[in-house]
Structure 1
Amino acid sequence: MEDKCKVIAIANQKGGVGKTTTAVNLGVALANTGKRVLCIDCDPQSSLSRSCQISDDPDSLDVTLSELMEYEMTGEDKDYLLINNAIKQFESIDLIPSNISLSGTETALFNCMSRESVLKRTIEPLRKNYDIILIDCMPSLGMMTINALVAADSVIIPCEPSFLSVKGLDLLLHSIAKIKRQINPTLQIDGVLMTMVDSRTINAREITSALRDAVGHNINVFNIEIPRSVRATECPNMGESIFVHDPGGRVAMAYEELAKEVISLERKAQTKLRPHGIR
């Protein structure tokens, strides 16, 4: 059966730009359209797991992404019961949590054969069960983020309209280009997503405009912008997505529009891959 699952890495080496917020809310928005969605917490800080309140203490979880990757690294047969035990539910999406043990897994990767593709091999059996897999990357360009970019079909880059956030894009784009050239030739950038945007400020408008001028001719910069919102920052404390916490708000509407755009990009990609003569 044809694999129609799309894996999207949500990446930016700068912290605090809305990666986890985007992973949660884009995931729920996609699930609300009928897509089967899995989110993977690829950060030892467990930001995604904590935001979804999968556990009071993620470090106490018996099975997380770390255990699944270690299974792959040791060459043992996949234990599907282990995989099922790792998957948790949050609202309308599935989620594989992480905890601090992922730091040890990242260190172990340096002594592993084909270390850049361990995550890709780990999630391969899961692709048949989902339409979209979202990987919430850690705020670095370390081995775990490289694994996420190798496993992914495309990347969404959340970016806050601030000088430091925009300047950091160069390094990330260089890393994506290098991975595309050397390891994952089909990797695409879905787009740069402006997050925490206060359109009332001149600074936000100028930085966003400058970013579009600088990279917009080569890289998609989503027209959809995620507005700055106190309600959105409250969601992790409540263990809720924006669609439960503030369903009629501007942030929920923005993520709904982003989900439509992601689905549109997915359809365009599938059309390009379809052999000539098949409709």
Structure 2
Amino acid sequence: MAGSATKSEEERPIGPTGRPYNGFPTPPKLDAHGPARIIAMCNQKGGVGKTTSTINLAAALAHYGRRVLCVDFDPQGALSAGLGIATHEIPTIYDLLLDTKRDAHEVIVSTRVDGLDVIPANIDLSAAEVHLVNEVARETILSRVLRGVAHEYDVILIDCQPSLGLLTVNALTAAHGVIIPLECEFFALRGVALLVETIDKVRDRLNPSITLDGVLATMYDPRTLHSREVLERVVEAFGDDVLETVIGRTVKFPDASVSGLPITEFAPEHSAAQAYLRLARELVARGAVA
């Protein structure tokens, strides 16, 4: 029997990460919601698919009946725009950071995706680090903001800005886990060691319970040797921390962003939409999400 089990495993197709390709089961429905597990989507390098992954992972988790809150924590406001939210005349995360008495419910915006809400951001957030630098316990302000709404959601995803400044430290201090979206490109790989070092410092000094939930390979093109070699090096460096799901490169992502919809709603049958649904199932199977 043991021999046949091994043979069965060997017969499973091999995925891009070099491991047998698992078909993660559809998650069971939840009887109740909350408290949320908070996950920071973090990489100090821009253009690695971080915001795209936050939007589409959130929509995929909502598809499976999870209540999800996205926090746009980047002054560029790309997550808000990608979900069709106009942010120029509404309160944003910036207002919550500066006014500790303000109720987060006043800032939360519902999206066109059932079960998915957003705390939006705009360019005002770029001034937050200057205002917060002299605050007491300035690294924990976001954590206090989210504390009032965490019981209403199953997952809170924080879309971090591409830097390792005070805003990102706030996100890491508030989070239970971190997902590192990583473009399959050599220069994207070089900066990950610095990010892991920052996560270790936050764990030592501010948030001892934070864990690395996974490294998510993005913009993968199996036709190029470069993509394949970078992914191989990522697996060598991070082992089982590399998520089995790999997100391919496609023009459908910008098309979906222009429409203000996640790709799971814009083109649900597309392979990219199926990849994010698979990612949601993998995170539930790994225990990173309820």
When the two structures are superposed, what TM-score results if normalisation uses the length of structure 1? 0.88
Question: 2:110 is matched with which residue?
Answer: 89
2:196 aligned to 166, 173, 177, which one?
173
Deviation at 1:110, TM superposition (A): 0.7
Map of 1:110 onto structure 2: 133
In 2, the alpha carbon distance for the partners of 1:62 and 1:222 equals 36
Residue 95 (structure 1) shift? 0.4
Q: CA deviation at 1:220?
A: 0.3
Counterpart AA for 1:163: F
Match of 1:252 in 2: 273
Residue range with higher mean Cα deviation, 257-266 or 62-71 = 257-266
* Partner secondary structure for residue 99 of structure 2: helix
Which residue matches 1:274?
Answer: none
Distance 1:43 1:106 in 2: 12
Show structure 1 runs of 4+ deviating over 6 A.
none
* Match 1:45 to one of 71, 76, 81: 76
1:275 is matched with which residue?
A: none
Q: CA deviation at 1:101?
A: 1.2
CA RMSD of aligned residues (A): 1.7
1:236 aligns with 2:257: yes
Q: Specify the alignment match of 2:246 in structure 1.
A: 225
Match 2:228 to one of 192, 201, 205: 205
- Alignment partner of 1:64 is 2:64: no
User: TM-score with structure 2 length normalisation?
Assistant: 0.85
Query: Among the aligned pairs, what percent are the same residue?
Result: 40
Paired residue secondary structure (2:241): coil
Question: 2: distance between equivalents of 1:33 and 1:5?
Answer: 15
User: What are the ranges of 5 or more consecutive residues in structure 2 without an aligned counterpart?
Assistant: 1-31
User: What residue in structure 1 maps to residue 15 of structure 2?
Assistant: none
Deviation string 1:229-254 (CA, Å, 9 cap, x unpaired) is: 11122111111110122111111111
d(CA) in 2 for partners of 1:113, 1:162? 40
Alpha carbons 1:38, 1:134 under 8 Å: kept: yes
Q: Distance in 1 between matches of 2:140 and 2:235?
A: 32
Q: Distance in 1 between matches of 2:98 and 2:66?
A: 29
Residue 30 of structure 1 corresponds to which residue in structure 2? 61
Question: SS of the counterpart of 2:129?
Answer: helix
Alignment partners' CA distance in 1, 2:167 and 2:66: 26
Choose the corresponding residue for 2:213, options 157, 165, 190: 190
| Contact 1:7–1:135 under 8 Å retained in 2 | yes
Partner residue of 2:5? none
Paired residue for 2:147? 124
Corresponding residue to 2:47 among 16, 20, 33: 16
CA contact (8 A) 2:35 2:152 kept: no
Letter in 1 for 2:95: E
Gaps of 5+ in 1: 271-279
Question: How far does residue 2 in structure 1 lie from its aligned partner after superposition?
Answer: 11
Instruction: Quote how far apart the aligned CAs of 1:10 are.
Output: 0.2
Name the residue aligned to 1:276: none
Work out the CA distance in 2 between the residues paired with 1:139 and 1:254: 24
Equivalent AA in structure 1 for residue 89 of structure 2: L
**Which of the two has greater helix per residue?**
1
Letter aligned with residue 57 of structure 2? L
Q: Is the 8 A contact 1:6 1:266 kept in 2?
A: no
Q: In the comparison of the two structures, how many residue pairs are matched? A: 257
